[in-house]
Structure 1
Amino acid sequence: MKRPYVFITRKLKEELLTPLFEMADVKMWDSESEAVPREILMKEAQKATALLTMLSDKVDKELLEQAPNLKVVANLAVGYDNIDVKVASERGVIVCNTPDVLTETTADLTFALMLATARRITEAQGFVKEGRWQSWSPFLLAGADVHHKTLGIVGMGKIGQAVARRAKGFGMEILYHNRSRHMEAEQEVGASYRSFEQLLAESDFVVCLTPLTDETKHLFDHDAFKRMKNSAFFINVGRGQVVDEEALIVALNSDEIAGAGLDVFYAEPIGSDHPLLRFPQVVAIPHIGSASVETRETMMKLCRDNIVAVIQGNKAKTVI
């Protein structure tokens, strides 16, 4: 009987994938950091039983229609806007993600980004490393307090709740906006529901954690940034396309907001000439929300287990 064929779109630790190697022929793209070229992914998908993919890998209608043997796509992420789930479902392909296991790690990063932006951490590091620190002065690189400020979370899912728990330790008032009220979050962390417009107007820190959908694309536009306080900071650890980047640039140029901390961008990766990088009040990092060794290894194992389950005819752990 022919063994299943699994293609993995990044070079991962082989020791984490032992159960797959035991039951299938496995091929990995030979780079840890560079995305597999589209033409290679298409070619591999044509013969694959399973794909283990990254957010940067487009699993669209074109690919799915040329993958007659494909049974499962395991995406190494919570999000799955890189996959045409509707077409996959129509073709009987199971799509899996990695929810829950990265919640706390991503919340750590979100809060770190908020602190770094408010307290000008990266700007201050450059000041020292570039030899510009010659004396001390009362307002040298003075930033904004985080404690006892108002935090507005747009997208109060599990990561939002984890961020809110951290904010409680800083004595922050917690506001949130969802399509519907989240009673568990209100009870657990004392969060208060606001309309999107009210949240923008009241918050000192606006944290975007909402997924990318047709409704949320360009949610943060010119009007949204105009509604924010001039002293407020915008933090995005959700999806880049939720933000109209031209509107964000205008808001920063005109001092409509105080600064931004960005883990995600409209098109990734960005180059060093990206216009948002010229602002000293912008902290920009390369989509590392869940990037701790422990969490990334757990995510890889979950993808592995989902593929093994489907190949064995069992139910995957985290089906979308």
Structure 2
Amino acid sequence: MARKTIVTNWVHREVLDRLETRGAVEANQARQPWSREELLTRARDADAMVAFMTDHVDEEFLEQCPDLKVIACALKGADNFDLAACRRRGVAVSIVPDLLTAPTAELTIGLMIALGRNIVEGDRLVRGGSFTGWRPILYGTGLDGATVGIIGMGAVGQAIAYRLRAFRCRLLYCDARPLSPGKEDALCLGRRDLSPLLRECDYVVLALPLVPDSLHLIDAVALAAMKPGAMLVNPARGSLVNEAAVADALEAGTLGGYAADVFEMEDWARPDRRCDVESRLRAHPRTVLTPHLGSAVDSVRRDIALAAADDILRFLDGGRMHGMILDPHKSMERTA
């Protein structure tokens, strides 16, 4: 039994009820995250932690929380968590990879339609009071028959491709680990290296994890290689793109638009991360920016937090967590 479990962000009451069957729970009841200083104060005597996108666990954090034995991340990726430091200190880590796939893919389609069909600009026009009826304006780019390139063909990339088939898109993908020919055929996918994909596509969608090799994958060079007027969509991780370079390309008119649900400022493990969203992206009319809504479906968020809570209960009962990516007592790790 844990002496104390810390829950760093707001969760549904039933999540706390489940955790309280194994000991004391201290939970953030607000919709804003605790500051790092407040979190450290509350977590110093915790045995277990349910963590979220706003959290960054590194050597310094673990040093100040010597009793911590397990971190259950209520999210898909662990790039904000120093797994090497967790291993050294004997802290187990789990994620919840599967429940986020469908809602993230769904939002991606929404971002693509909103960007291509000028939905944000149209909404702004109507709300501004100047709309007096149909005019030949705001002509955009539809998905029907468009060439779409997906960079990264893991679970999320495949879910996006599956949904895009309904729009009769020509689908290309790029991934260091190609799918089987049978899976490519089932999803109507053609495989390309990165440069040819960028040259051919009307939309480029990012579906990659953030790792050292993917940091700023889309930089000024990649943007210059894209088809003129193509649109870039990022529902994955903010630092896959160089936001300043994206703003430059938008201002130059070479990039047709940028839609993002994630931003460089969220990637806490980067010591040089931005502290805010690039202001030129926020001001540009050819952007659609959402506040990390990929998993923001109420029932999904409840189930994600419940899955993280269940992983903590399994660990405390001496079992293996379903979403375990780091067992400090074994040499092998499983990643999503």
Shorter chain as denominator, the TM-score bin is: over 0.9
Preserved CA contact (<8 Å) 1:71 1:310? no
2:123 is aligned to 125
1:201-216 matches, within 5 Å, as 201-216=199-214
**Within 1, Cα distance between the matches of 2:207 and 2:9?**
26
Task: Name the aligned partner's letter for residue 15 of structure 2.
Answer: L
Preserved CA contact (<8 Å) 1:108 1:163? yes
2:234 is aligned to 236
1:92 is aligned to 90
**Within 1, Cα distance between the matches of 2:26 and 2:185?**
47
**Within 1, Cα distance between the matches of 2:185 and 2:134?**
45
Deviation at 1:3, TM superposition (A): 4.6
**Within 1, Cα distance between the matches of 2:82 and 2:275?**
24
Q: 1:223-266 CA distances to partner (integer Å, 9 max, x unpaired)?
A: 11111111210000111111111110111011111101111111
**Within 1, Cα distance between the matches of 2:199 and 2:2?**
58
Deviation at 1:51, TM superposition (A): 0.7
Q: 1:205-229 CA distances to partner (integer Å, 9 max, x unpaired)?
A: 0001111111000100001111111
SS, match of residue 128 in structure 1: helix
Size of the alignment, in residue pairs? 317
RMSD: 1.6
Is structure 2 residue 44 aligned with structure 1 residue 38? no
2:289 is aligned to 284
- Residue among 135, 141, 147 paired with 1:150: 147
2:28 is aligned to 29
SS, match of residue 20 in structure 1: helix
SS, match of residue 264 in structure 2: coil
1:9-24 matches, within 5 Å, as 9-24=8-23
Deviation at 1:270, TM superposition (A): 7.6
Task: Name the aligned partner's letter for residue 152 of structure 1.
Answer: G
Runs of 4+ in 1 over 3 A off after TM superposition: 268-273
User: Which segment drifts farther, 264-273 or 60-69?
Assistant: 264-273
2:330 is aligned to none
Which ranges in structure 2 are unaligned for 5 or more consecutive residues?
Answer: 267-273, 326-336
Instruction: Identify which of structures 1 and 2 has the higher relative contact order when contacts are C-alpha pairs closer than 8 Å and 6+ apart.
Output: 2
TM-score by length of 2: 0.91
SS, match of residue 122 in structure 2: helix
2:314 is aligned to 309
Q: 1:154-192 CA distances to partner (integer Å, 9 max, x unpaired)?
A: 111111101101111110111111112122641320211
Q: Percent identity?
A: 34
Structure 1 residues 123 and 89 mapped into 2: Cα distance closer, same or farther (>3 Å)? same
Preserved CA contact (<8 Å) 1:45 1:63? no
